[in-house]
Structure 1
């Protein structure tokens, strides 16, 4: 008995360091408007936290419990917080998208996020309500790891954020410039500037012969960015929270929402400073305004007394191909899929004249009841995707399924696609203009044995990508383009993963339900709020109707009248011409036509008429001369 007791005591003592290592990290965020001028060109309202902007960095260790008390002091907008890239294992109700896993936090309301950190790496947090984060509600989220495989090489860490910046608030840009009839092509507003660490002309003081771990996050709304450090190379060691085998790069490309961490070792000499250059991907922009400076420059400062050099011009933008990265854990390709979901990306106009984004001819429209709350209240009907609404574009996944997600880009632009709740295997990406996956000819044996993993992947114009993940994280997870303009225009699908398991394990906190009550949002029912018959979607939210194929009755009438008017117009012109040709009267002289049979007096009058006509067509008195 005693040996057994001593064994228990020993086991408990061994567990004490682990228990001590886990901490509760609490943040109290008052979200409200402040004023800022990050590019030095225009001061504007921005969304800050606790009266400051840029907003704080969230930091924790693997195993920590993170609690964020979010108080909405905006006054005029609802909000929410999404912790981008965190899997939220077992806590899908803390993921953050308003209308999906929670209700929007109305002005004056408070919402508590409470989750345990299960993964290390570089992430960020941002609003997931009403395209709000480009107005400033975006910040780094760093999860430290005592088992980081490259920790012995690292002397210091530096967080570097890249972002694009607009001078107008998103509510104005969306309602006046983007989702309007006068923008039928769907051209996205072009940023005014690019920022580093939410400022311009960033300087980073460094020490010689030191290895830094740079954690780079693109928190922008739109622009992907090319990044390079003059005179230095990067050793990539992480993408989107996934450690990788070291990969040397001179230049990297980081789309909106992606993260890349790398080791950078400084030089022995401190004789000069070096430019850091981030260049926005201008192929994404429909127009290039004359005043757009698409490059932002910072500096690695070895010596503050030395000059800060101008960035050198580069001949080509040739970034490292992230598809070549190998995950450090060498996780092999998941087996052949149990479920294939294929999504075609397209842009088109609807009946209201505005341009929308579509997956498989469906543009996203939020439900009356947050999708997670439909899961929890629908009983056995929760396994039927219909209850979540036609326009949430929901797919129900079974526990443990291997899912292959194929995206065909039928659009001429790049798109960074992000999956909540998972890091997927990036199995394949085609070149530009390669067409759809079905026509690629790629077979299972052609796929990489150890594919790169991340949570955000860029698809090229008129190309395709293939991703795989295992449905081992019950929850409601969005899949969407992370260009915020395309979220606004509807490029979103929803994965409902093991809904019956969620019903067994999830309880919505009372605080969350209070927020729903304050926002006037129902917490039970299908997408249309129907609690009696979950398959009755009468009254669900719908986008505008499609443009009709062919002519409407009004169009046909208009066409007939136009044709009749056109024919009558031609007849009148023809009749007038024929009448003039047979008229020999003096009216011909008035039109400057010489009658060779007339006497000298008549010819003189005719010529005078011509001169007067010519003179009066050139000067400001033309109308008076003709009268």
Structure 2
């Protein structure tokens, strides 16, 4: 999928139309047509608002009638421009699919494709997405990865937490306001289902912290299994062998054993290209690079950052980056073609097909063509950038947010909110197998009894892994809570937990990274390592193998919010907890649960016949 360019004359359109909705005439509105948007797409504002985004002014977005600018410096957690409702409908079904030359007989796809349909909106819009489930043997849900969902916890799309799975031939409609901008992805949170293809890109148009000329639609980088992800998860529980990917896909394109193809794009010399990258895999940490080209990084997850340059990006599962690439190679290739590489390191604890791990050709997934090189069938002659592929995130010193947070002392006791991830040796759990956990009891949810149906509880089943965060964000929204997550047990703990690398994702919030260390956590000296001044913010961060991750976030979003490892095998095994935030306010701040209760009744009716054999956490 390539970019769609528009002439400068068409870039800013001031329209005075009066569209009809239900027979009513709406006030005239101004429109902005984002370069690279889908045909017919535009951002709409009230008539007296002035769009200000163009080729030489990407940091501005719109100006209100009083001259107030909404731009890259606007605190988007406090202030959002007006938008419109954006309705979409998607359908999830099962069919054969061959993205790399090998047919997967029962891929699970959104609108019969992978990646699924691009869902596109503008900063300030309200998204409305109707999801219909046509899968014959699975329920489903859709999670909006990284989206704040402020006051809309019931739309988070996590079965067993915010809703029951959507039953076969049933539908669920998600509706929420977009207070952030940038790109992400949406995916199923039903067991390991997204590993079979239920994932697609999400794009929210808004300002950028550097200028560019052309824009690509978001790129999903993903591992791909020829077997069912559900069968692969069984190997996680009883292996060896552990789950293993067969190939790497770049936007749904890959090659395997001499078949398949490469993702292709064209560069025009001297132009600047905005490229949005998403690690949408179930088990692989990637390094993204374009031979002989510099990547100017301008955002991480949904957070705009001060631009910096690099030759490659280390991207954990669920993480996203926006980069600008100038079509000006530092070393020209002999045939005008350059490899896009999505490389994987065996240093990460995620198993992979041995051939894929050792064959760099398999990790060359895309081709950039200049000029007449598009007419030839020969492969690039460019050489690999010196990439030290490993599991470490991009250093936090490089990721400086444009809008800083001032992080004060924690409201909570850090010791009480320190959690230890790992495999509990010698403690088999459901199915008499070892499982990953974060609260000493692996998560195991009841699909038919979501947490949101039980917000008056005073005690919880340990298998729901609920932790209490009954704090406020203060009158000015400037109070924080801290959390420390370790990889493995504290020294001397029994039974010992096995450490590993884990990409940790928090729903419903951005968090600040106070510390990210490969050293074991020491509760006495550890807090001395915290760096709260303009700390890196994001919604996924790597927990180093044997080390710790310390984060801070604002408890300003009442709900039951999942925190989990985004290695699908680990999350499904049980490595997750629920942050129960401001419990007494959840039903007051969020919408009614009528749709959830109706969906649960249909799920129970369907499940009484099909009898789903749940062997995982549910997420």
TM-score in terms of structure 2 length = 0.75
2:404 is aligned to 330
2:342 is aligned to 278
Q: Supply the distance in 2 between the matched residues of 1:258 and 1:110 (Cα, whole angstroms).
A: 29
1:344 is aligned to 420
Please state how far the C-alpha of 1:359 moved relative to its aligned partner.
1.2
Q: Supply the distance in 2 between the matched residues of 1:339 and 1:57 (Cα, whole angstroms).
A: 42
Q: Supply the distance in 2 between the matched residues of 1:154 and 1:448 (Cα, whole angstroms).
A: 35
2:569 is aligned to 485
* Aligned pair partner of 2:115 in 51, 54, 57: 54
* Aligned pair partner of 2:364 in 274, 280, 296: 296
* Aligned pair partner of 2:513 in 406, 420, 426: 426
User: Is residue 114–residue 200 contact of structure 2 (8 Å, CA) maintained in 1?
Assistant: no
Matched, 1:99 2:160: yes
1:33 is aligned to 94
User: Is residue 209–residue 307 contact of structure 2 (8 Å, CA) maintained in 1?
Assistant: no
1:508 is aligned to 592
2:444 is aligned to 365
Q: Supply the distance in 2 between the matched residues of 1:311 and 1:13 (Cα, whole angstroms).
A: 50
Matched, 1:435 2:520: yes
Please state how far the C-alpha of 1:129 moved relative to its aligned partner.
0.6
Structure 1, unpaired ranges of 5+:
1-11, 523-540, 545-627
User: Is residue 185–residue 199 contact of structure 2 (8 Å, CA) maintained in 1?
Assistant: yes
Indicate how the Cα distance of structure 1 residues 439 and 430 shifts in structure 2: closer, same or farther if over 3 A, else same.
Answer: farther
Q: Supply the distance in 2 between the matched residues of 1:450 and 1:419 (Cα, whole angstroms).
A: 19
Q: Deviations over 1:417-448 (max 9, x none)?
A: 000000100111113xx11242654427x524
Matched, 1:192 2:246: yes
Matched, 1:143 2:204: yes
2:70 is aligned to none
Q: Supply the distance in 1 between the matched residues of 2:464 and 2:605 (Cα, whole angstroms).
A: 17
For this pair of structures, how many residues does the alignment match? Answer: 497
- RMSD in angstroms over aligned alpha carbons? 2.8
* Aligned pair partner of 1:417 in 504, 510, 522: 504
Q: Supply the distance in 2 between the matched residues of 1:189 and 1:484 (Cα, whole angstroms).
A: 10
Please state how far the C-alpha of 1:153 moved relative to its aligned partner.
3.5
2:464 is aligned to 392
User: Is residue 84–residue 123 contact of structure 1 (8 Å, CA) maintained in 2?
Assistant: yes
1:408 is aligned to 486
After TM superposition, the structure 1 stretch with the greater mean CA deviation from structure 2, 335-344 or 53-62, is 335-344
After TM superposition, the structure 1 stretch with the greater mean CA deviation from structure 2, 410-419 or 93-102, is 410-419
Please state how far the C-alpha of 1:206 moved relative to its aligned partner.
1.8
User: Is residue 349–residue 501 contact of structure 2 (8 Å, CA) maintained in 1?
Assistant: no
Please state how far the C-alpha of 1:50 moved relative to its aligned partner.
2.9
Q: Supply the distance in 2 between the matched residues of 1:57 and 1:543 (Cα, whole angstroms).
A: 29
Please state how far the C-alpha of 1:207 moved relative to its aligned partner.
1.3
Please state how far the C-alpha of 1:296 moved relative to its aligned partner.
3.3
2:434 is aligned to 355
After TM superposition, the structure 1 stretch with the greater mean CA deviation from structure 2, 324-333 or 261-270, is 261-270
Please state how far the C-alpha of 1:250 moved relative to its aligned partner.
1.0
Please state how far the C-alpha of 1:313 moved relative to its aligned partner.
4.8
Please state how far the C-alpha of 1:14 moved relative to its aligned partner.
4.6
2:493 is aligned to none
Does the residue aligned with 2:289 lie in a helix, a strand or coil?
strand
User: Is residue 126–residue 139 contact of structure 1 (8 Å, CA) maintained in 2?
Assistant: yes
1:458 is aligned to 542
Q: Supply the distance in 2 between the matched residues of 1:450 and 1:134 (Cα, whole angstroms).
A: 35
Q: Supply the distance in 2 between the matched residues of 1:467 and 1:493 (Cα, whole angstroms).
A: 15
Q: Supply the distance in 2 between the matched residues of 1:436 and 1:13 (Cα, whole angstroms).
A: 55
User: Is residue 194–residue 280 contact of structure 1 (8 Å, CA) maintained in 2?
Assistant: no
User: Is residue 363–residue 543 contact of structure 1 (8 Å, CA) maintained in 2?
Assistant: no
Matched, 1:494 2:578: yes
Q: Supply the distance in 2 between the matched residues of 1:82 and 1:543 (Cα, whole angstroms).
A: 18
Q: Supply the distance in 2 between the matched residues of 1:360 and 1:242 (Cα, whole angstroms).
A: 29
Q: Supply the distance in 2 between the matched residues of 1:521 and 1:257 (Cα, whole angstroms).
A: 34
2:73 is aligned to none
Please state how far the C-alpha of 1:228 moved relative to its aligned partner.
1.0
Please state how far the C-alpha of 1:336 moved relative to its aligned partner.
3.5
Please state how far the C-alpha of 1:57 moved relative to its aligned partner.
1.0
Does the residue aligned with 1:143 lie in a helix, a strand or coil?
strand
Please state how far the C-alpha of 1:315 moved relative to its aligned partner.
5.5
Matched, 1:261 2:322: yes
After TM superposition, the structure 1 stretch with the greater mean CA deviation from structure 2, 251-260 or 350-359, is 350-359
Which structure has the larger Rg over C-alpha atoms? 1
Matched, 1:165 2:193: no
Q: Deviations over 1:451-491 (max 9, x none)?
A: 10000000111011100001011111000000000011100
Please state how far the C-alpha of 1:194 moved relative to its aligned partner.
0.8
User: Is residue 276–residue 320 contact of structure 2 (8 Å, CA) maintained in 1?
Assistant: yes
Indicate how the Cα distance of structure 1 residues 360 and 130 shifts in structure 2: closer, same or farther if over 3 A, else same.
Answer: closer
* Aligned pair partner of 2:375 in 305, 314, 319: 305
Indicate how the Cα distance of structure 1 residues 469 and 222 shifts in structure 2: closer, same or farther if over 3 A, else same.
Answer: same
Please state how far the C-alpha of 1:168 moved relative to its aligned partner.
0.7
Indicate how the Cα distance of structure 1 residues 251 and 149 shifts in structure 2: closer, same or farther if over 3 A, else same.
Answer: closer
Q: Deviations over 1:333-375 (max 9, x none)?
A: 3434434311101113506441200214221111452011111
TM-score in terms of structure 1 length = 0.74
Q: Supply the distance in 2 between the matched residues of 1:35 and 1:310 (Cα, whole angstroms).
A: 34
Please state how far the C-alpha of 1:291 moved relative to its aligned partner.
3.2
1:113 is aligned to 174
Please state how far the C-alpha of 1:279 moved relative to its aligned partner.
0.8
1:551 is aligned to none
Q: Supply the distance in 1 between the matched residues of 2:588 and 2:384 (Cα, whole angstroms).
A: 59
Q: Supply the distance in 1 between the matched residues of 2:615 and 2:191 (Cα, whole angstroms).
A: 17
Structure 2, unpaired ranges of 5+:
1-45, 52-63, 66-80, 255-261, 474-478, 489-497, 607-613
Q: Supply the distance in 2 between the matched residues of 1:405 and 1:542 (Cα, whole angstroms).
A: 29
* Aligned pair partner of 2:554 in 470, 473, 483: 470
Indicate how the Cα distance of structure 1 residues 373 and 80 shifts in structure 2: closer, same or farther if over 3 A, else same.
Answer: same
Please state how far the C-alpha of 1:328 moved relative to its aligned partner.
0.8
Q: Supply the distance in 1 between the matched residues of 2:156 and 2:352 (Cα, whole angstroms).
A: 36
After TM superposition, the structure 1 stretch with the greater mean CA deviation from structure 2, 41-50 or 422-431, is 41-50
Please state how far the C-alpha of 1:310 moved relative to its aligned partner.
4.9
Q: Deviations over 1:130-171 (max 9, x none)?
A: 2100100011101111x3333x44433342221000011122
Indicate how the Cα distance of structure 1 residues 440 and 460 shifts in structure 2: closer, same or farther if over 3 A, else same.
Answer: farther
Q: Deviations over 1:195-245 (max 9, x none)?
A: 101112111112111111111001000000011111111111101100000
Does the residue aligned with 2:355 lie in a helix, a strand or coil?
coil
